[in-house]
Amino acid sequence: MDNIILRFENLLERNHLKAIHIMKKAIENEPNNTEYLSAYGVYLCRNEHLAEGIKLLVRAQNIKELDPGTTFVLAIAYMKQDKYLPAANNFKKVASLYPEAYYNSAICYLRLRNYKKAIAQARELTTSDILGKEAYNFIVDVFLIDFKSEEAEQELLKYEKKFGKDDTYHFMAGNIKFNNMDFLYSSFHYSKIVTSGIDKESYFSKYAMSLFQNKQYAKAAEIYKEVLKTDDYDQSSVIDYAYSLYEIGKYQEVLDVLERYKGYISDLSAFRDLRAKAYYKLNLK
């Protein structure tokens, strides 16, 4: 390794200002030295000086093809700046060495609303035992975003053949059924998710709504209570939670919930109506 780069890397932890000075001086003396441009560009990108870091790495790339690790750093930097097309292009260059680059490029194409390319990139990972589950989940999500439920169902069948009916299977199946407003089966599938790494916030609102639509108010109230502990709720969650409590006769809790979350409720008519009904029921007691 070049002596200047060694000094730069060794000084970064002890005296990063001196390290930066050394590298800037080296680039000034040899403006076309791709090793210097890459080393400093990677440092800048990793320390969130994205615009300057990208500029240096592109400058190096125009002189000589970057090594795969540096190309990956450049792609991440582009992605952080919402420059999704150049990010995707650079991820694809190194995907054979870094499989996660396929997933990242798929996300980039999704942000560009190029659903076909997003799915094509994710599909490269479906044979992977490590990233395969995430890839299928991503593909199903994209099909649902694009209102293609039948295609999503086909992907679910492929997933089942490879991985079986695990938590991720039920998560995807629940989302498909919810998207089709088949709330009976969406609630069934969500209820089958037990102890996986699937974040509750990613499906609990849909689970609660599915139960509510099926008039399973006791269970809906239980799940809505959990939903309101997260950041993933809106006024409809509050109203439906309060209504569920009302239907199972917990009138004081209805009033408590409405009072606690009244700042989130813009539908004052629903708020007043439900509060009045709860007061009435309490007075009957």
Q: What is the pLDDT along the chain (285 residues), one digit of tens a residue?
A: 578 888 878 778 778 788 888 889 889 999 999 999 999 999 999 999 999 999 999 999 999 999 999 999 999 999 999 999 999 999 999 999 999 999 999 999 999 999 999 999 999 999 998 899 999 999 999 999 999 999 999 999 999 999 999 999 999 999 999 999 999 999 999 999 986 678 888 899 999 999 999 999 999 999 999 999 887 788 899 999 999 999 999 999 999 999 999 888 888 898 899 999 999 888 876
Total tally of structural domains belonging to the chain? 3
- Domain span including residue 88: 1-98
Same domain, 252 and 171: no
- The dihedral over CA atoms of 173, 177, 180, 181, expressed in degrees to the nearest 10, equals -160
DSSP conformation class of 1: -
pTM: 0.86
Quick one: pLDDT at residue 285? Answer: 61
The residue out of 63, 98, 133 marking a domain boundary is 98
10 burial type by CB count under 10 A (0-12 exposed, 13-18 middle, 19+ buried): exposed
The residue out of 173, 197, 221 marking a domain boundary is 197
Any domain includes 39: yes
Quick one: pLDDT at residue 201? Answer: 84
Same domain, 214 and 193: no
Any domain includes 108: no
For position 118, which CATH number holds?
Answer: 1.25.40
For position 72, which CATH number holds?
Answer: 1.25.40.10
**Whole-angstrom Cα distance, residue 273 to residue 26?**
73
The residue out of 98, 122, 152 marking a domain boundary is 98
For residue 260, give the nearest of 212, 225, 218 by alpha carbon.
225
Long-range contact pairs involving 263-267 (C-beta distance under 8 Å, separation at least 24): 264/233, 264/234, 264/235, 264/238, 265/235, 265/238, 265/239, 266/235, 267/235, 267/239
